[in-house]
């Protein structure tokens, strides 16, 4: 119960790491403001968190790359709970394709969802944290923030660019607001069992089996990919007072991938 009574916002809470994070923060005692595109999915997660942990949950469906959604998240948090202690910027999508076959539309979409969304929501929430003189922001970066990568013979350069931007956004906000009591960190996952990766691998196919994860696993020294709950545990730590003297950190949760 490290987060007992805290108010936490999680974007991209409908699936994968975002969903696991919402449930982990609820388990730790936080009340939640959850965002995703799909209201039905948000309602299901809200019921699950509320029934299991007696968590109070507010939801905001919408695209966080749009200003009005970011503003609605901030307004909902303040009207329902009066404060914001934690912001987890999780919303993101993947892209595989060489630069020579990537359209301007592709570029703008990835930048909007993966990076502009974090700018907009952080911009809306930081004034609340400044008034409190406290707060913790955790952004979802990636091992892709640091390295070049390919999948199936194609580059993931565009996804990598957005995640490198998340890393620098984290660093810049951390140094700017440290004296105001706001900590800003990011987690850098390696391979994780989520639909983010599968969407690129399967290209619309519905069938999923363990062979996919077994194929990706050997690229990590630990020989496997992560469960979403393992990334959520790291996020919960950075959001908690156990990390009270940590800001500007990029925490690899990657089974040793970046250590090679």
Beta bridge pairs of residue 65: none
Measured between alpha carbons, how far is 163 from 72 in angstroms, rounded to an integer? 25
- Can you say whether the dihedral through the CA atoms of 5, 9, 14, 18 is positive or negative? negative
Measured between alpha carbons, how far is 226 from 237 in angstroms, rounded to an integer? 17
Residue in 159, 177, 237, 257 annotated catalytic: 159
Instruction: Sort 18 into a burial class: Cβ within 10 Å, 0-12 / 13-18 / 19+.
Output: buried
Structure token pair of residue 194: 């989520």
The residue among 162, 61, 149 whose CA lies nearest residue 112 is: 162
Whether residue 159 lies in the annotated active site = yes
Helix axes 157-177, 117-132, angle to 10 degrees: 10
Beta bridge pairs of residue 7: 31
189 vs 176, 197, 252, CA distance in Å? 25, 12, 6
Measured between alpha carbons, how far is 42 from 154 in angstroms, rounded to an integer? 34
Beta bridge pairs of residue 61: 36
116 vs 63, 78, 164, 214, 224, CA distance in Å? 11, 22, 13, 33, 31
The residues annotated as belonging to the active site are 159
């Amino acid at each position: 119960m490290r987060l007992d009574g805290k108010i936490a916002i999680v974007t991209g809470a409908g699936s994968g790491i975002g969903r696991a994070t919402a449930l982990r923060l609820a388990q730790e005692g936080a009340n939640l403001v959850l965002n995703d595109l799909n209201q039905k999915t948000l309602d299901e997660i809200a019921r699950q968190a509320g029934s299991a942990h007696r968590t109070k949950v507010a939801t905001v469906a919408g695209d966080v790359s749009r200003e009005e959604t970011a503003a609605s998240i901030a307004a909902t948090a303040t009207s329902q709970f009066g404060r914001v202690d934690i912001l987890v910027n999780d919303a993101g999508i993947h892209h595989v394709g060489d630069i020579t076959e990537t359209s301007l539309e592709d570029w703008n979409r990835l930048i909007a969802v993966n990076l502009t969304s974090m700018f907009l929501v952080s911009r809306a929430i930081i004034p609340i944290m400044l008034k409190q003189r406290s707060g913790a922001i955790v952004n979802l970066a990636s091992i892709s923030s640091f390295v070049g990568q390919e999948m199936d013979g194609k580059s993931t350069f565009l996804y990598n660019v957005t995640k490198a931007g998340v890393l620098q956004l984290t660093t810049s906000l951390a140094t700017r607001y440290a004296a105001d009591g706001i900590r800003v960190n990011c987690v850098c996952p390696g391979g994780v069992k989520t639909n983010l990766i599968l969407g690129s691998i399967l290209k619309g196919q519905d069938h999923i089996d363990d062979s996919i994860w077994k194929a990706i696993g050997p690229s990590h020294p630990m020989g496997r990919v992560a469960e979403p709950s393992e990334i959520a545990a790291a996020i919960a730590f950075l959001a908690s007072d156990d990390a009270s003297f940590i800001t500007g950190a990029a925490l690899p949760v990657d089974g040793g991938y970046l250590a090679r």
